[in-house]
């Protein structure tokens, strides 16, 4: 057995007994040397993680000692003259205190998870897992708060890329962006490359606004569905369903001569947890959803050229979210998502066209919000 690994075995026992910062720092150095040796000797992930675990535990204990010594606020109280003889710089001091701030239960759970899954252990991994837990706890608390205070509807007139990053995180996103298949000004986005480039920007904006546990439904034309699915895969979005919205009423369909008449649109569904399906089984669970296109003479009145059926959006919202959830429609159009959103959820609508913002305000019976700076 290598001398470094023998020292590591002894260091494991010594760490529990260490009483000074100097002793802990030396144990940390031994663990670091063992880590370097394990990598160089290609001893495998388990041996490397064993060394990293001791190093992290030593850094955690050192961080606790630094806090006890009065270095409790980042680097603002760092006394170079005091720590320099121990080989500890300002960056290390801050880093170790971050690890020390993680509650014991969560630290141990993260270490066990990494080792059990064969994932490389690191300070970044430990902190990332801790932040995920904090974010989930924060999300749960926010849902409870929204349930207690009542659901809200917010309307913003702006482009989604400007406003979404300022609005926090969402449990569900229902996105019905321009399809680039008509000559309407806001839908005509140029050639395939230009359209896919801006679509990727929109998707990235949405990714950054999603909670750790989420669902997202993305409407698109069959013409670009394959390209957009590739974008989803490249961006690490886990595709769970490919829904087909079958439009059972088609205007002007008889004019098609060189192809079959289009009668459907694609909805890509990505998500990280169970859907909120009703207990009773029905065809609502199927990936083909048949609803008529809204018309001016329907109860589901058409006020926007690409408006989606209320019943379809209601189903997506109800199945894709839970009571207390926060929902975003970044391309709100006529505001259907806000109109059908259950009273126990909160909903944010973003629309950049003034005429449709006015439609949403009238439909929901409330004014738009002042834009966030």
Domain 152-364 sits in which CATH superfamily?
A: Vaccinia Virus protein VP39 (3.40.50.150)
Instruction: Say what the pLDDT of residue 77 is.
Output: 44
Question: In the predicted model, is pLDDT for residue 268 greater than 80?
Answer: yes
Higher-confidence position of 152 and 338: 338
Q: What pLDDT shows up at residue 183?
A: 87
Is the entire prediction scored with pTM above 0.85? no
Model confidence band, residue 298 (pLDDT cutoffs 50, 70, 90)? low
pLDDT for 76 beyond 50: no
CA separation for the pair 163, 371 (Å, rounded): 8
Q: Distance of CA 240 to CAs 144, 214, 217, Å?
A: 27, 12, 10
| Predicted confidence (pLDDT) at residue 313 exceeds the cutoff of 90 | yes
Q: What is the pLDDT of residues 284-295, one digit of tens each?
A: 999 999 998 887
Question: 104-117 and 45-68 helices cross at what angle (nearest 10)?
Answer: 170
Place 28 in a pLDDT band, splitting at 50, 70 and 90: confident
Which of 64-78, 221-235, 254-268 is the least confident region?
64-78
What is the per-residue pLDDT across 79-117, written as a single tens digit (0 to 9) for each? 545 666 666 777 778 888 888 888 888 888 888 888 888
The DSSP call for residue 283 is G
Mean pLDDT along residues 46-74 = 81
On whether the CB atoms of residues 21 and 86 are closer than 8 A, the answer is: yes
Name the region of 214 (left: φ>0; alpha: ψ -120 to 50; beta: rest).
Answer: beta
Per-domain residue ranges of the chain: 3-75+93-135, 152-364
User: From CA 338, how far away is CA 211, in angstroms rounded?
Assistant: 20
Q: How confident is residue 45, by pLDDT bands cut at 50, 70 and 90? A: confident
Indicate if the pLDDT at residue 362 is higher than 50.
yes
pLDDT of residue 366: 92
């Amino acid at each position: 057995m290598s001398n470094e690994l023998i020292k590591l075995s002894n260091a494991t026992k010594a760490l529990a007994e260490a009483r000074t910062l100097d002793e802990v720092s030396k144990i940390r150095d031994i663990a670091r040397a063992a880590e370097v040796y394990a990598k160089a000797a290609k001893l495998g992930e388990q041996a490397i993680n064993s060394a990293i675990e001791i190093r992290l535990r030593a850094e955690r204990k050192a961080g606790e000692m630094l806090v006890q010594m009065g270095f409790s606020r980042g680097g603002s109280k760092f006394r170079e003259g005091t720590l320099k003889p121990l080989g500890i710089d300002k960056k290390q001091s801050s880093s170790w205190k971050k690890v020390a701030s993680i509650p014991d239960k969560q630290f141990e759970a993260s270490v066990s998870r990494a080792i059990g899954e064969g994932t490389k252990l690191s300070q970044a991994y430990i902190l990332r897992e801790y932040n995920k837990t904090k974010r989930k706890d924060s999300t749960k608390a926010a849902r409870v708060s929204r349930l207690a205070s009542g659901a809200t509807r917010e309307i913003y007139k702006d482009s989604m890329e400007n406003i979404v990053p300022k609005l926090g995180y969402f449990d569900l996103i229902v996105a019905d962006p321009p399809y680039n298949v008509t000559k309407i000004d806001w839908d005509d986005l140029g050639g395939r490359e230009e359209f896919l480039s801006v679509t990727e920007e929109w998707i990235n904006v949405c990714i950054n606004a999603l909670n750790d546990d989420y669902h997202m439904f993305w409407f698109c034309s069959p013409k670009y569905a394959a390209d957009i699915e590739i974008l989803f895969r490249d961006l690490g979005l886990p595709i769970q369903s490919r829904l087909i919205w079958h439009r059972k009423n088609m205007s002007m369909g008889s004019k098609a001569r060189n192809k079959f008449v289009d009668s459907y649109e694609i909805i890509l569904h990505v998500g990280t947890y169970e859907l909120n399906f009703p207990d009773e089984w029905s065809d609502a669970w199927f990936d083909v959803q048949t609803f008529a296109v809204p018309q001016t003479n329907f109860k589901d009145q058409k006020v926007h050229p690409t408006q989606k059926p209320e019943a379809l959006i209601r189903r997506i919202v109800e199945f894709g979210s839970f009571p207390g959830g926060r929902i975003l429609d970044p391309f709100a159009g006529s505001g259907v998502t806000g109109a059908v959103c259950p009273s126990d959820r909160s909903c944010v609508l973003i629309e950049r066209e003034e005429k449709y913002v006015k439609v949403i305000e009238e439909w929901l019976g409330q004014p738009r919000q002042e834009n966030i700076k």
